[in-house]
Amino acid sequence: MIIDKLYEKINDTGHVCLGLDTDFEYVPAGFASKFDSKSEAVLEFNKKIIKATSNSVACYKVQIAYYEALGIEGMKAFSNTLKYIKETGNIAISDVKRGDIAKTAQMYARAHFEGDFETDFITINSYMGMDTLEPYFDYLKDKEKGLFVLIRTSNKGAPDIQNINTIEGENVYTVMGKKVQNVGKSFLGKCGYSSIGGVVGCTHTQEGKKLREELDSTFFLIPGYGAQGGGAEEVAVYLKNGNGGVVNSSRGILLAYKKQNNPENFDECAYNEVERMRKDILNAVKG
């Protein structure tokens, strides 16, 4: 199963998930000027970042909105970014946050697990109900694909809905987490984790400890590191025995060249930031 491949990648390279949430404004002006279009500049920027960090990250997360905003050419850049990740032997998570039922969800599954936009994992919003997951199951069983379902997100508005108490006395996100784990038991890999994972933000440490204890077979995609305020110590509580999750950073890596004042070597700067983050998390886990 794909989750076993990701689990082993973490053992080899650490926990970094590099987010290719690539706004054209992030591309250094001197580099962008070499290309005829924004989408081409974004793609080539991505490729240099991927090439520089390929042996240091666990996976890449490609956020579709940044490419949709560039129109048809942007979607070609999205497709070609995914293809390049695959060519380098790495794992791709497409951050598409689909959430629908029946035939519509079936089409989303086909769109992102086959054809031009094929990827390894996609993100899912199942707050519409657990039947939103069913059209993806055949891909998980037969085609080495996986899902990350929103459980407890890292945005400041998350408590508006996710922290509401149900009539059973549990928070909504706790109920969602348990449902995700229950569904995921049908897709367990040899590593003990399911190919149906959960998205849990690392900006809520106490909640994270509880979720990690309760969702022992649910692999976590962990946003919130760096730009959103989470650090290595916060991340460590979401992991179990040094594994069980990948930690996403986007702007902190893509814009590392600004902090290092070196736009001409933005790819090298990205690598340096990945290595810093990778070692920071590993030290926190060991500590």
Q: Which residues are catalytic, by number?
A: 97
3-state secondary structure of 124: strand
Task: Tell me the CA distances in angstroms from 26 to 66, 85, 104, 256, one per residue in order.
Answer: 11, 20, 34, 10
Closest by alpha carbon to 158, among 166, 148, 150? 150
Phi and psi at 162, nearest 5°, equal: -70, -25
Cα angle for residues 204, 99, 214 (degrees, 5° grid) = 35
Cα angle for residues 58, 63, 68 (degrees, 5° grid) = 150
Separation CA 6–CA 12 (nearest Å): 10
In single-letter form, the type of residue at position 51 comes to K
